[in-house]
Structure 1
């Protein structure tokens, strides 16, 4: 197990290097850069010094250098003339659009994204597990048919459409302000109990919208996996030895049916940070999803590239943790690794 862990950690290094190179190439593919768009805006406003300002900024941030030099400076393996130490030193660079360090831009939105994502994950697991187990042990019952229909409905309804519907009913029924995670008067205000209550009042809408499709998919997967395990001989043997149905269900089939959910940990970590971009735009949520989309559209290379690298790192760490958890949960995986 130790050799497997070390080997996986070593594989992560070239993977991150390859991801960083691909990310930087994709960001650089569109013609021009952020400063090109800024020049056009300044010229449209009749600013005669637009070219001089842009040339100064290009030199200041190293955008006048070659592609290889820019990549090396961004990673942190090439010294920067302006004090930029690079990703390897924990310096994410400067956001041209926000005119602030990337660390500060991401940090302002990170905690709200984490709150929404963790609430969504808890909602998904709390709702899907009891329903999935019930649908499996009560196969073809009236409740199974009803819950299956609701599951398919959750998968079929577009998230942005559900967001608009819930915004309307929340405003009509509860008087909740449309959009955002709090009432407008609490924006940029210090935390207080009324502000916290306002966040809770708005939080349930994005949690339901983002979590509904994931909940429906998890119910279907848990039901299918559990039905498959219930038909295997070891469950019949456990019942024949005198174990009650509930104890045998929890001890054996349910444990084996959890493997796909443990493997999903690799997707949970980046989702916690990235948030749901489309739903966040529709609901006007101050999370990192719309920020990343704006950075890609405006070619704010340090903000977009650094954030994408953060998501890649979290994905690799999540997959690594899920593999270790699967090996601890399922003896068959440990046996296969040893063999």
Structure 2
């Protein structure tokens, strides 16, 4: 198991290195950058002092160097000018759009993003698994048809549209504002128990909105997997020998049907983050999605690069977790098929 873990960690490191190169050079593909565009604009406006400051930032972060040197400096394997140490040493760079360090710009948005999307993951599994089991074990029943109908509705409804509907009608009918992740009075305040309670109460709507499509998809897939397993000979034999139906279901078909969903853990979090950008904009959620959209539009390369790497790290960590869970469930995986 240790060798299996070491192999996965080595693969994860190489994968992140390749992703970092792709992220950096793709961001650099469009002509110009934030500072170059800003300098041209400031010179047109006659603001020489601000243009000089922008030129200083270009020299400070080595943006006048060749692209490959900029990448190595950003990564942190080559010493940067004026003390810039790079990602590997904990220096996330400077946000030129916000004129602040990147870690100050993202701030609470990082862990709030993780919290919202982990809440959506928990919601998806807690809701989808019981419904899928019920639907598969009572195929073509009224409950199965109802679950199928709502599954199709969930798949067909865009998350941002559902957010808009809830935002409008909850405010119109009940006078409830669901925007943000806590009440406006707590903005910029330190974290206290009342602010945490406000966060938990505001977390319900984004969790449901972001997780609804994933819940519907998981119900459909798990129902199909369970129906396939329930028709196999081992399950029929187990019931014929008098094994309790519930025990036979949970011990064999249910466990076998979980493998595809465990394998998808690595893809689920980044998928939810990318899919929640519009929801975050509609509901004014202080997550990294709107910040990333703004950074890409303005070509703020350090800010955009860090957020993309943050999503990449979530992906590979999720893949590592899914690999470990699969290896724990299925010895053939951790043994590499040698058995």
Match of 1:321 in 2: 321
Query: How much does 1:187 deviate?
Result: 1.6
Residue 285 (structure 2) aligns with:
285
Shift of 1:90: 2.2
Q: Counterparts in 2 of 1:1-339, with a 5 A limit? A: 1-43=1-43, 45-177=45-177, 179-270=179-270, 276-334=276-334, 337-339=337-339
Cα gap change, 1:201 to 1:316, in 2 (>3 Å): closer
Per the alignment, in what secondary structure is the counterpart of residue 177 of structure 1?
coil
* Structure 1 residues 184 and 166: alpha-carbon distance in aligned structure 2, compared to 1, 3 A threshold: same
Gaps of 5+ in 1: none
1:226-276 alpha-carbon deviations (Å, 9 max, x no partner): 000001111011112211111100110000011111112212454677672
Distance 1:336 1:55, change over 3 A: closer
User: Residues 19-72 of structure 1: CA distance to partner in whole angstroms, max 9, x if unpaired?
Assistant: 111111110011111112322443464424454333222112211111111111
Question: What's the TM-score once normalised by structure 2's chain length?
Answer: 0.92
Q: 2:114 and 2:315 mapped to 1: Cα distance?
A: 15
Local SS of the residue matching 1:162: helix
Which consecutive unaligned segments of at least 5 residues does structure 2 have? Answer: none
In structure 2, relative to structure 1, the CA distance for the partners of 1:2 and 1:119 (3 Å cut) is closer
Contact 1:73 1:80 in 2 (8 A): yes
Distance 1:152 1:37, change over 3 A: same
Q: After TM superposition, give the deviation of residue 145 of structure 1 in Å.
A: 0.6
Distance 1:269 1:278 in 2: 16
Q: CA deviation at 1:178?
A: 5.1
Q: Following TM superposition, by how much is the alpha carbon of 1:308 offset from its aligned partner in structure 2, in angstroms?
A: 1.4
Distance (whole Å) between structure 1 residues aligned to residue 186 and residue 162 of structure 2: 26
Instruction: Using the TM superposition, give the Cα deviation of residue 299 of structure 1 relative to its aligned residue in structure 2, in angstroms.
Output: 1.2
Contact kept in structure 2, 1:118 and 1:272, CA below 8 Å: no
Go from structure 1 to structure 2 and tell me whether the alpha carbon gap of 1:331 and 1:193 turns closer, same or farther (over 3 Å shift). Answer: closer
Q: In the TM superposition, what is the alpha-carbon distance from 1:149 to its structure 2 partner?
A: 0.5
Q: Quickly say closer, same or farther: Cα 1:139–1:331, change in 2 above 3 A.
A: farther
Q: Aligned partners of 1:159 and 1:26: how far apart in 2?
A: 28
Label 1:243 to 1:83 Cα distance change in 2 as closer, same or farther (>3 A). same
- Is the CA contact 1:124–1:215 (under 8 Å) kept in the aligned structure 2? yes
Higher alpha-carbon deviation: 108-117 or 124-133:
108-117
Task: Answer with 22-31 or 318-327: which moved more.
Answer: 318-327
**Deviant stretches of 4+, over 6 Å:** 272-275
Distance 2:336 2:256 in 1: 15
